[in-house]
C-alpha cells in the first residue's frame, strides 16, 4: 500500500508553508517580543513561559482546523495524499517545527532584550534570561508533547471548538480521577489521616516501603507519558482516516 | 471505472437516502446526474470521491474502495463541489501548491483555460475573485489536472451567460476516451449539448441510466399541436411553440434529446418508460 511517499510529504509541507507563512511569522514575532521583555521581572518571565505554552497549545489544537469548515475539509481530505502522510506532516508541524521555531524566537527575543537592556542601562551584559529560557527540562517537554498530542487528537475528533472541548474533557477526566483516587485512599488508609489533614497526606506516609517507590514511579511516569503521546498520535491518524465530510 | 454495489447510505438511521443503490460507470462518457432537490446527487458524488462512506455495500473506484482515499486513486479524481474553498493565495501560487499532487497536471492548459474564461492576471488573489470567477478558476484547474475522473457538482451555477458557453466548449475539448465526467446539475439546458449519458436519481434509487443515442432511439421529443392524441404521449408540457411531447419512438423518427423534458417524463411516467427501455 502506497501510504507514505516522501514526494507527497514534501508537497504537503510546501502547501502548508505557502499558505501559512504570514500567520506563523506574526506569531513568531509576538513570542520574540514577549521574550525580549521577559528578562526583567520574574513574574513576567513566568507569564511569558505560560504565553509560550498557550500559543503552542492553540496551534496544536487547530492543526486539523480545516475540518471545521465543510468546503475546506473536503478540499483537505481530497488532496491526493494518504491519512498517514497528512497526520505525519501535521505531527511534525505541531511537535517539531512550531515548537522549535517558537522556542528559537523566544530565545532570540530574550537575547535581544538582554542586549537592549545592556545598551540602555549600561549594565554588564548577562545571559540570565536566556539561561532561564533554556531551562525546559525533558519532563516538561514530554508533558508539553503529551498535551499537544491530546490537542491534536481533539482537533481531528471534535472539528469545531476543539480546544475548549478538550479542556472540558480534561477537566471532567481529572475530576473523575480525583474522586476515584480520594475514594480509594479513603477506604484503603486510615480515615483520620485524610479527614484531619488532607493536604499533608502523602503516599510515602501511607506506603513507606510499599509499591510506590518514587524512583520506579519516575520511570513508569516517563514511559507512560511516551506511551500516551504515541497513543494519541495513532488515534489522530485513525480518526482522520475515518473522517467524513 | 466506478462500481457502486448495493450502497446503503443515510444521514440518520431512521431515514435512509440510498438502499441497495447500484451504478456502473465507464470512461469515455460525460454523465449528467439529475434529480430533484434532496435526491442525493451531491451525496452520491461524495461517496464516489470517498468523502462519505456507505453504511453497507461497496463503492469501488478504479478497482479500489473509495473510502480508503488511496492517494493513487485520489490523484486521478478531481471533485469540484458546489460550495468551493479557495485559500488566500495568488492564482499562480494556487496552481503551484495544488498541481504537484496531480501528475498529469498541465500548466499550459491551465493558463489556456483561464485565458478562455478571461482570467488573465495570475497575480490576483484567488479568494478575492467573485464567486463566478472562483468557479472559473476551479473549472480551469480541474480540467488541467487531466484526472481520469472528474466530478462536477453544479458547475454552471454562478457562471454568466458567455461563460456557460465557454464552459461547454472547454469541457468538450478536454474529454477523451479515458476520462469519465459526472456533472450533477439542475441547469440541464446549460449542458444539454455536452451530456452523452443521463442518470436520474429519485427517492434514493437510480431510476434511469441510459446513453443519449439509446434515449433518442427509444423516445421521440416533438412539438405537437394542442389537438394531438394524448393516448400515445408519455409526457406533455405546454409551451409557447405548442405542446412539447415525449412519445415512444415506434416509427424510428429522429429527434433532438430534450433532457429537461426527459427528466419530467421519467418522474411522471416512471413505470412505462422503464418498460420501453427494457423491451
**CA–CA distance from A154 to each of A63, A84, A174, B53, B191 (Å)?**
10, 17, 17, 22, 44
Instruction: Please tell me the least confidently modeled range out of A17-21, B20-24, B187-191, B229-233.
Output: B229-233
List all residues of chain A from 84 to 143 with a beta carbon under 8 Å from chain B.
85
Instruction: Using the 3D structure, point to which of B172, B203, B234 is the last residue of a domain.
Output: B203
Q: How far is CA B247 from the centre of its chain?
A: 25
Question: Chain A: residue nearest B98 by CA?
Answer: A15
The predicted structure's pLDDT at residue B232 = 75
Q: Is A78 within 8 Å of B52 when comparing Cβ atoms?
A: no
CB contact under 8 A, A81 and B71: yes
pLDDT value at position A130? Answer: 66
Pair B118, B252 in one domain: no
Other CB atoms within 10 A of residue A98 CB: 20
Q: How far is A30 from chain B (nearest CA, A)?
A: 22
CA A28 to chain centre: 16
pLDDT average, residue stretch B270-279: 84
- In the numeric block, which cell numbers belong to residue A64? 486539523
**How many angstroms separate the CA atoms of B195 and B172, rounded?**
10
Nearest by CB: A78 against B52, B74, B96:
B74
Residues recorded for chain B: 279
What residue of B is the nearest CA neighbor of A241? B68
B234, B121: one domain: no
Say if residue B182 is in the same domain as residue B272.
no
Based on the fold, state whether residues B176 and B157 are members of the same structural domain.
yes
Predicted confidence (pLDDT) at residue B230 exceeds the cutoff of 90: no
A21, part of any domain: yes
Yes or no, beta carbons of A82 and B85 under 8 Å apart: no
Handedness of CA B255, B260, B266, B269 (dihedral sign): negative
Assigned domain for A1 exists: no
Question: Does any CB of chain B come closer than 8 Å to the CB of residue A1?
Answer: yes
Closest alpha carbon to B46 in A2, A84, A77: A77
Does A209 reside within a domain?
yes
Confidence at residue B150, expressed as pLDDT on a 0 to 100 scale? 96
B49 in reach of chain A (CB within 8 A): yes
> Does residue B182 share a domain with residue B84?
yes
**Model confidence over B131-178: pLDDT tens digits?**
999 999 999 999 999 999 999 999 998 888 899 989 999 998 888 889
pLDDT at B274 over 90: no
Q: Are residues B28 and B134 in the same domain?
A: yes
Pick the residue from chain A with its C-alpha nearest to B68. A241
A54 close contact with B: CB closer than 8 A: no
Please tell me whether residue B58 adopts helix, strand or coil conformation. Answer: strand
> Is B98 strand, coil or helix?
helix
Q: Cβ–Cβ of B51/A79 closer than 8 Å? A: no
If one counts every other C-beta atom within 10 angstroms of the C-beta of residue B209, the result is: 17
**Structural domain of A16:** 6-242
With contacts defined as CB-CB under 8 Å, which chain B residues touch A79?
74, 98, 101
DSSP secondary structure, B213-249, as one string: HHHHHHEEEEEE-TT--GGGEEEEEEETTEEEEEEE-
- pTM for the predicted model, two decimal places: 0.85
- Mean pLDDT of the B79-95 span: 93
Nearest one of B65, B95, B62 to B178, comparing CA atoms: B62
Cβ contact, residue pair A5, B71, below 8 Å? yes
The grid coordinates of residue B177 equal 476516451
Residue A184 touches partner B, C-beta closer than 8 Å: no
How much is the pLDDT for A1?
Answer: 47
Distance CA A97, CA A104 (A): 10
Q: What are phi and psi for residue B137, nearest 5 degrees?
A: -60, -50
Q: Which of B155, B184, B203 lies at the terminal end of a domain, its last residue? A: B203
pLDDT of B8 above 80: yes
Burial of B106 (0-12, 13-18, 19+ CB in 10 A): middle
Q: Of B149, B182, B203, which one is at a domain's C-terminal end?
A: B203
B75 Cβ under 8 Å from any chain A Cβ: yes
Distance in Å, alpha carbon of B149 to nearest chain A alpha carbon = 13
Instruction: Give me the number of domains chain A comprises.
Output: 1
Q: Sort out which chain B residues have CB atoms less than 8 A from A14's CB and list them.
A: 97, 100
In terms of phi and psi (left: phi > 0; alpha: psi -120 to 50; beta: otherwise), the region of A122 is left
Strand order in the sheet with B219-224: B219-224, B242-248, B233-239
pLDDT-flagged residues of chain A (< 70):
1-2, 39-42, 128-136, 190-214
d(CA A115, CA A134): 17
Residue with cell 449539448: B193
Q: Nearest-CA residue of chain B relative to A11?
A: B100
Task: Give the total number of structural domains in chain B.
Answer: 2
- pLDDT reported for residue A44: 74
Q: Which residues of B touch A75 (CB under 8 A)?
A: 85
Other C-beta atoms within 10 Å of A139: how many?
Answer: 12
Nearest to B96 among A18, A83, A245 (CB): A18
pLDDT at B258: 87
Long-range contacts of range A134-138, CB-CB < 8 Å, 24 or more positions apart? A134/A107, A136/A103
Which chain B residue shows the shortest CA-CA distance from A242?
Answer: B67
- Full domain range(s) for residue B54: 2-203
Q: Which residue of B52, B79, B97 is in closest CB contact with A19?
A: B97
Instruction: Name the burial class of residue B153, with classes exposed (0-12), middle (13-18) and buried (19+) by CB atoms within 10 angstroms of its CB.
Output: buried
Strand order in the sheet with B180-184: B77-80, B149-153, B180-184, B29-35, B197-202, B205-211
Let me know whether B231 and B192 are in one domain: no
Q: Is A42 on the interface with B (CB under 8 A)?
A: no
Q: Is the pLDDT of residue B111 over 80?
A: yes
Distance CA B263, CA B265 (A): 5
Say if the Cβ atoms of B69 and A82 lie within 8 Å.
yes
Is A80–B102 a contact, with Cβ atoms under 8 angstroms apart?
Answer: yes
**To the nearest whole number, what is the mean pLDDT of chain B?**
90
Place of cell 512550531: A98
Q: How far apart are CA B180 and CA B77, in angstroms?
A: 10
CA A222/CA A235 separation, integer angstroms = 20
B81–A83 CB contact, under 8 Å: no
Q: Does A19 touch chain B (CB under 8 A)?
A: yes
Q: CA B155 to CA B117: how far, in whole Å?
A: 14
Domain annotation covers residue A79? yes
Which pLDDT score is estimated for B105? 95
Per the rule left: phi > 0, alpha: psi between -120 and 50, beta: everything else, B246 is beta
Beta-bridged to residue B2, according to DSSP, are B25, B61
Indicate if B104 and B237 belong to the same structural domain: no
Are B191 and B82 contained in the same domain?
A: yes
- The domain that holds B85 is classified in CATH as 3.40.50.300
pLDDT(B103) > 80: yes
Q: Is A4 left (phi over 0), alpha (psi -120 to 50) or beta?
A: beta
**Inter-chain contact B52–A245, Cβ cutoff 8 Å?**
yes
Both B199 and B221 in one domain: the answer is no
- A6–B contact, CB cutoff 8 A: no
Instruction: Label residue B82 by pLDDT band (50, 70, 90).
Output: very high
Whether B62 contacts chain A with CB within 8 A: no
CA distance A76 to chain B (A): 10
Task: Identify the sign of the CA torsion B189, B130, A19, A154.
Answer: negative
- A30-83 pLDDT, tens digit each: 989 888 877 666 677 778 888 888 999 999 998 998 898 899 999 999 999 999
Question: Percent of chain B scored above 70 by pLDDT?
Answer: 99
The answer to whether residues B138 and B240 belong to one domain is no
| Cα atoms in the 13 Å half-sphere on the side-chain side of A24 | 19
B81/A14 touch (CB, cutoff 8 Å), yes or no: no
What is the per-residue pLDDT for A195? 47
Same domain, B262 and B133: no
Q: Which of B267, B204, B206 is nearest to B33 (CA)?
A: B206
Amino acid at each position: 500500500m502506497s501510504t507514505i511517499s516522501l514526494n507527497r510529504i514534501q508537497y504537503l509541507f510546501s502547501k502548508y508553508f505557502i499558505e501559512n507563512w504570514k500567520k506563523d511569522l506574526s506569531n513568531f514575532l509576538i513570542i520574540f517580543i514577549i521574550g525580549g521583555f521577559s528578562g526583567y521581572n520574574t513574574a513576567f518571565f513566568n507569564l511569558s513561559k505560560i504565553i509560550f505554552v498557550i500559543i503552542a497549545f492553540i496551534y496544536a489544537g487547530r492543526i486539523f482546523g480545516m475540518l471545521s469548515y465543510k468546503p475546506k475539509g473536503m478540499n483537505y481530505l481530497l488532496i491526493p495524499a494518504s491519512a498517514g502522510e497528512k497526520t505525519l506532516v501535521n505531527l511534525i508541524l505541531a511537535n517539531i517545527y512550531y515548537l522549535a521555531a517558537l522556542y528559537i524566537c523566544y530565545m532570540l527575543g530574550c537575547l535581544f532584550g538582554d542586549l537592549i537592556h545592556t545598551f540602555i542601562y549600561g549594565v554588564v551584559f548577562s545571559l540570565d534570561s536566556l539561561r532561564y529560557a533554556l531551562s525546559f527540562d525533558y519532563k516538561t517537554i514530554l508533558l508539553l508533547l503529551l498535551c499537544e498530542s491530546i490537542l491534536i487528537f481533539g482537533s481531528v475528533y471534535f472539528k469545531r471548538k476543539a480546544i475548549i472541548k478538550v479542556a472540558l474533557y480534561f477537566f471532567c477526566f481529572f475530576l473523575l480521577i480525583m474522586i476515584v483516587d480520594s475514594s480509594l485512599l479513603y477506604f484503603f488508609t486510615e480515615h483520620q489521616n485524610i479527614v484531619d489533614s488532607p493536604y499533608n497526606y502523602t503516599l510515602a506516609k501511607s506506603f513507606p516501603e510499599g509499591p510506590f517507590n518514587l524512583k520506579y514511579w519516575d520511570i513508569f511516569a516517563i514511559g507512560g507519558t511516551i506511551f500516551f503521546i504515541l497513543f494519541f498520535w495513532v488515534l489522530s491518524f485513525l480518526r482522520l482516516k475515518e473522517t467524513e465530510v | 471505472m466506478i462500481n457502486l454495489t448495493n450502497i446503503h447510505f443515510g444521514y440518520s438511521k431512521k431515514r435512509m437516502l440510498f438502499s441497495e443503490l447500484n451504478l456502473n460507470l465507464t470512461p469515455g462518457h460525460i454523465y449528467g446526474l439529475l434529480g430533484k432537490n434532496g435526491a442525493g446527487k451531491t451525496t452520491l458524488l461524495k461517496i464516489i470521491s470517498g468523502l462519505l462512506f456507505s453504511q453497507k455495500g461497496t463503492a469501488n473506484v478504479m478497482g479500489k474502495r473509495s473510502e480508503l482515499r488511496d492517494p493513487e486513486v485520489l490523484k486521478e479524481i478531481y471533485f469540484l463541489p458546489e460550495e468551493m474553498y479557495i485559500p488566500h493565495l495568488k492564482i499562480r501560487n494556487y496552481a503551484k501548491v495544488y498541481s504537484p499532487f496531480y501528475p498529469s497536471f498541465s500548466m499550459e492548459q491551465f493558463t489556456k483555460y483561464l485565458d478562455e474564461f478571461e482570467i488573465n492576471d495570475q497575480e490576483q488573489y484567488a479568494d478575492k475573485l467573485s464567486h463566478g470567477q472562483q468557479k472559473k478558476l476551479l473549472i480551469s484547474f480541474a480540467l488541467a489536472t487531466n484526472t481520469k475522473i472528474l466530478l462536477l457538482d453544479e458547475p454552471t451555477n454562478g457562471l454568466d451567460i458567455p461563460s456557460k458557453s465557454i464552459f461547454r466548449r472547454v469541457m468538450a475539448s478536454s474529454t477523451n476516451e479515458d476520462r469519465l465526467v459526472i456533472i450533477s446539475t439542475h441547469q440541464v439546458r446549460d449542458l444539454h449539448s455536452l451530456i452523452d449519458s443521463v442518470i436520474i436519481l429519485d427517492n434514493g434509487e437510480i431510476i434511469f441510466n441510459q446513453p443519449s443515442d439509446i434515449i433518442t432511439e427509444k423516445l421521440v421529443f416533438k412539438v405537437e399541436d394542442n389537438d394531438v392524441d394524448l393516448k400515445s404521449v408519455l409526457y406533455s408540457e405546454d409551451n409557447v411553440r405548442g405542446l412539447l411531447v415525449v412519445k415512444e419512438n415506434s416509427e424510428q423518427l429522429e429527434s433532438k434529446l430534450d433532457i429537461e423534458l426527459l427528466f419530467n417524463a421519467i418522474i411522471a411516467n416512471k413505470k412505462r418508460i422503464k418498460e420501453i427501455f427494457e423491451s
